[in-house]
Structures are given as C-alpha cells and as structure tokens.
Amino acid sequence: MKAIVLARCALLAPFVDVLNDTGAPTERMLARFGLPIHPEQKPNDYFPLIPALQFVTAAQASHGLADFGFRAVQRLQFGHLSEQLQASIRQAPTLLAALKQWCRLVQFEDTFVRYWLERHNDHLRVCSTNSGTDGVLHLEHSQWIQNVMAVYCVRQFAGPHWTPATISFGARYMPGVETQARWPYTRFLSGQKASWIDVPISLLPTPHPANAANSGSSQREFEPISTDIVTALKLMLPSYLDERVPGIAEMAEITGTSVRSLQRELARAGLTYSRLLDQVRFEKGAELLRKTDARIIDVAFAAGYTDPAHFARAFRRMAGVTPREFRENAGKA
C-alpha cells in the first residue's frame, strides 16, 4: 500500500480563504475531493495532500486564479507553523542551526516533504521535494508553500523584509508578471531538480534576536512523527470528526488505495477501521476533557458523536470511567 501523504490543515486554510473571497461554492468543492470542510478551525489536524492538490488545481482552473499558490501563501505567517517547529527555530542559536532543525522537523507540517541543505559558492540552498507525489501535476502550489515557509524561517534571524536572491520550483512553472513584481530582488527558476531558495553564507552565523542575550537557554528536543499507515490515519481522521466521517470505502478512495489493502494494513496492527475510529474519537474526547472546559455535550459532538449518551458509553468502555470522572481525575493529576 502506498504511503498516505499528509499536511497540517493550517496549510490548506489559506487556499480555502482565497477561494471563499471569490464567492465560489468552497464547501461543496472540498467535499467533492474528500477534504475537511473547515480546515481553519482545526489547524493542527491533518488532511490528505494528494486530493488537496487536485482540489486546488480544479479551483484554479474553474475560477481563473492565476498563481493560486502565491495568493494563498501571502496569507500564511510564521505563527501558522506548528508549535513544535516554531519552538525549535526560536531556540536555535544560529540561522544555520535553525535550518538544520528545519530539515529534521518539518514533517510536523507535511509528513512526506524532505528538506536538505546544499552549498553553492557563497550561498546555501535550502532544497525540498515531496515524496509520494509521482505523476501529480501542478506541484507549484505546494512548492510555493515549501519555499516561502523556508523564507519565514530565515526571516526570524535576518529580519522581516529579507528575500532570497533566487526562488526555484521543481515544477515546470513560472510566476506571472504581477507576482514576480512582488519579489523585485528575486529571480525565479522553473523545472529544477528540486525546489529551493538561496541564503548567503554570511548570514548563517546570525543569532536569533531572542537568544542573542541568553545563549545559555535550555532547548527542548522534538522528534519527527512516524509515517506508517496507522499513524497517518490517526493523524488525518480528527479533521473529519465534527463533520461527516468517511466510511472505509471513502477513506480508501481518499488515500488512493483499495478497501482490501486498507483492511490488510489495519489488520497487521491488530485493528479494524471501526476500532481505529473508536480510538481516534476517544483520544479526541480525552484531549478536550483534559485541556478545555467545554461542556460534555460539546466534547461529544467534537469527537464525532451525535448522541452524548453514546459518547459516555464508548468513553467508559475505553477508559473505565465516565467523561466527567476522567476530567476530575485529570484535574487532580
């Protein structure tokens, strides 16, 4: 079974935002491609990347959205990145250390993106590719995000107005004249072996402004997330819980596999699709009970239950206590 390529909903939300501004039937289009309807409400949940690229390509064609990827990335900021990645960058002592951490931990944003660093004369290239996207057209949309997210990383050290001398796309794509005018000091390259931006070697020793006066601050360690099939499904399913949860046949279609292959992968982990869904619902409910003061009925709906009584019974079956008792015990811990 092919790996499931995922990305954080925070990266889908700006595309939805741009499309909403055109008056397009965005929710219907998202549903057509099996995507979460309100990604902006769940930035830390994950969505399947391949259907999302198909959605963006279809939206661009049907609504005349030139340089859709650039329009979307304009609405992204460093603060939209995962907390783990933001913390890792801020804790890095120098820009070079931050870029190395970026390459290691960017999987928090996209589970199959790969970044690496290459030195070319007096510049360092921050390169990226996406595995699991062979044969997928119009990758420039995701490559805009990959390149500009790296720009945001550099700006944490070089200042908010820094721009690279070169932005390269692996896709055969060249931004339009108006878009290029927004980057007056940057040249664009198309059809390269990888997407990349270049960073002057002279910038690499630059300390993070917040760390310049406190080089002895402690640093937290973060580990990249696993990319096995069960983990991928557990990351993706929460984004659908407060909507219509896909059945196994629809999930197989969304992830580009067959029902039998999906069942076989789950069986290897001792699971069925319904049992996995029960686990995901329980974990979502438990998280909300621990971290929020939301009413039990609201937690039940957010965890994908239409009847709070069903939620209470399922929760007790998994945890041995009622949701209310779980919350009380969590508060005492």
Q: In this predicted model, what pLDDT tens digit does every residue of 168-200 receive, in sequence order?
A: 999 999 999 999 999 999 999 999 999 999 999
Q: In this predicted model, what pLDDT tens digit does every residue of 130-148 receive, in sequence order?
A: 876 666 778 999 999 999 9
Task: Tell which residue, 117, 126, 97, has the closest CA to residue 215.
Answer: 97
Sequence-distant (6+) residues with CB within 8 A of 6 are 46, 47, 48, 49, 110, 111, 112, 232, 235, 236
The pLDDT score that the predictor gives to residue 211 is 67
DSSP-derived 3-state class of residue 63: helix
The pLDDT score that the predictor gives to residue 135 is 66
Q: With contact defined as beta carbons under 8 Å apart, do 243 and 27 qualify?
A: no
Q: In this predicted model, what pLDDT tens digit does every residue of 296-314 receive, in sequence order?
A: 999 999 999 989 999 999 9
| pLDDT level of residue 216 (50, 70, 90 thresholds) | very low
Between CA 135 and CA 280 the distance in angstroms is: 32
pTM: 0.88
Domains and CATH numbers, the chain: 6-203 (3.90.1520), 229-332 (1.10.10.60)
The pLDDT score that the predictor gives to residue 214 is 47
- Whether residue 112 is predicted with pLDDT greater than 90 in this model: the reply is no
DSSP-derived 3-state class of residue 169: coil
Find the DSSP H helices in 159-227: 177-181
Q: In this predicted model, what pLDDT tens digit does every residue of 269-285 receive, in sequence order?
A: 999 999 999 999 999 99
| pLDDT level of residue 262 (50, 70, 90 thresholds) | very high
DSSP-derived 3-state class of residue 160: coil
β-bridge partners, 129: 114
- At 120, which helix (H) or strand (E)? strand 113-120
